[in-house]
Structure 1
Amino acid sequence: MFERFSGDARRTVVQAQHEARGLGHGRIGTVHLLLGLLDPGDDPATAPAARVLSEHGATAEAVRRAAQEAREAREPATAPGRRPRTGRLFGSHIPFSKRAKKAMELSLREALRFDRRRIDGSHILLGVLRTGGGASGALEQAGVDTDALRRTAEQIARASDGPR
C-alpha cells in the first residue's frame, strides 16, 4: 500500500514512527499518525492536513499531552528501574497498532472515494478520524470540533489536484 503514498503521506508515517519512539511507545497508534500529520515538514504548502489541523486549533503539544495523559490513565507508571516499552524488540521498525492499521486501510478507501490513486495526508486524516479512539479523544481534549475538522478535510481531499 505504501507505494500509493504521496510524499506528504510517507513523511507522515515516518514522523509517526519518530513520535512513537520519542514517546517510548512500542506501537504506532492513531495519535502518532495525528502527530505526524501535524508536522508540516520543510514545505507547509505540501502538507494541507497540517494546515487544516492548525486552522481547527490542533497543536502537536496539546495532542502529545493528551496522548501521554491517556496512556498514564490506562497503564500504571513504569516501575523504578524499568524502561518504557519501545519497538526495540522488533528492531528499528515499530509496528502499527490494530487501530492505526485500520486507519491506514481507511485512508486508501478515502482516496478511492475521491477518485484518487495516491494517498495523501488528507486521506490519512480522514482515516484517523473514522477510526475514532485515541486520536479523536486527543483532538476533542484539545478543543477541536472533530465533525468540523472532518468536513474541512473532505473539502481538501475533494479539491486536491493530485493524480487521479
Structure 2
Amino acid sequence: MTMLDMFTPDARHTIVRAGTLASQAGRGRLGDVFLLLALAEDRPLGVEADDIRAAAGARPGRDRELLATLGIDLDEVRRRVHETTAARPDDPALWSLRRAPLRPLRVTLSGPGTELVLDESGRKAVEVALWARRRAHRARAGRADLLWGLLADGSSEAVDVLRRLGADLRALWTELGRAA
C-alpha cells in the first residue's frame, strides 16, 4: 500500500496528472503549482487551466526539440509505446506515492519512466489533504482535500498564481466549507 491508496480514484488521477505535467515540463520535482494545474484541468477554480499553465511556466520541456535534432519523433515514440502496452502510462494503478523510510520528509511519486520527488510545497499539499481526510473521518482524501491542501498555505506558489490570475480565493474557501 502506498500513500496514493489513501486518495479517491479521481484524486489519484489528479496527482498522477500533476506528475505527468511536471515530467513533461522537464522538472525533477513535483510542486504545488502542478497539483493546482491538474486540479484546474478537471474542475473550475475561477481561472483557466491554460492561464495557470502559462503563469507557472509549465510548458513542455525541450525533450521534443532535442530528440528531433537526432531525427527522433517523440510523439511517434509515445504512440508506439501506448500501442505496445496494455495499460496507459497515466493509469494510477501503475503509480506509487511513497515516503522514504530513512528520510521521512522525502516523498516520491513514481510511475512508468518517471520518478519525481515532491518539493516542500507539493509534500505539504498532499499531507494537508490527508490531514483533512482524517479530520473529516473519511476513508480516502478527494480532490476537495487536495484543494484544501493547496490553499492552506497562503504564501505558497499555487496561492500566489491564483491571486495573480484574479481567482476569488474567498469563494474557493466557501465552496470547500460547504463540501466538508
8 Å Cα contact 1:122-1:154 kept in structure 2: no
Q: Deviation digits for residues 97-121 of structure 1, max 9, x if unmatched?
A: 1111011110011112222121000
Question: Which has more helix, going by share of residues?
Answer: 1
Residue in structure 1 matched with residue 178 of structure 2 by the alignment: 155
Structure number with larger C-alpha Rg: 2
Count of equivalent residues? 129
Q: 128-137 or 118-127: which moved more?
A: 128-137
Residue in structure 1 matched with residue 52 of structure 2 by the alignment: 63
8 Å Cα contact 2:23-2:114 kept in structure 1: no
Pairs within 5 Å for 1:53-132: 53=45, 57-68=46-57, 92-132=114-154
Matched, 1:136 2:138: no
Q: 1:17: how far off?
A: 0.7
Unmatched runs of 5 consecutive residues or more in structure 1: 41-49, 70-81, 83-90, 159-164
Q: 1:14: how far off?
A: 0.6
Q: Distance in 2 between matches of 1:24 and 1:7?
A: 26
Q: 1:65: how far off?
A: 1.3
Q: Distance in 2 between matches of 1:62 and 1:113?
A: 33
Q: Distance in 1 between matches of 2:38 and 2:17?
A: 5
Q: 1:152: how far off?
A: 0.7
Question: Which has more strand, going by share of residues?
Answer: 2
Q: Distance in 2 between matches of 1:152 and 1:118?
A: 19
8 Å Cα contact 1:58-1:142 kept in structure 2: yes
Q: 23-32 or 121-130: which moved more?
A: 23-32
Q: 1:4: how far off?
A: 1.3
Residue in structure 2 matched with residue 36 of structure 1 by the alignment: 38
8 Å Cα contact 1:28-1:96 kept in structure 2: yes
Q: Distance in 2 between matches of 1:126 and 1:100?
A: 13
Unmatched runs of 5 consecutive residues or more in structure 2: 59-65, 67-112
Amino acid at match of 2:176: A
Residue in structure 1 matched with residue 99 of structure 2 by the alignment: none
Amino acid at match of 1:149: L
Residue in structure 2 matched with residue 16 of structure 1 by the alignment: 18
Amino acid at match of 2:125: A
Q: Distance in 2 between matches of 1:92 and 1:102?
A: 21
Q: Distance in 2 between matches of 1:123 and 1:29?
A: 16
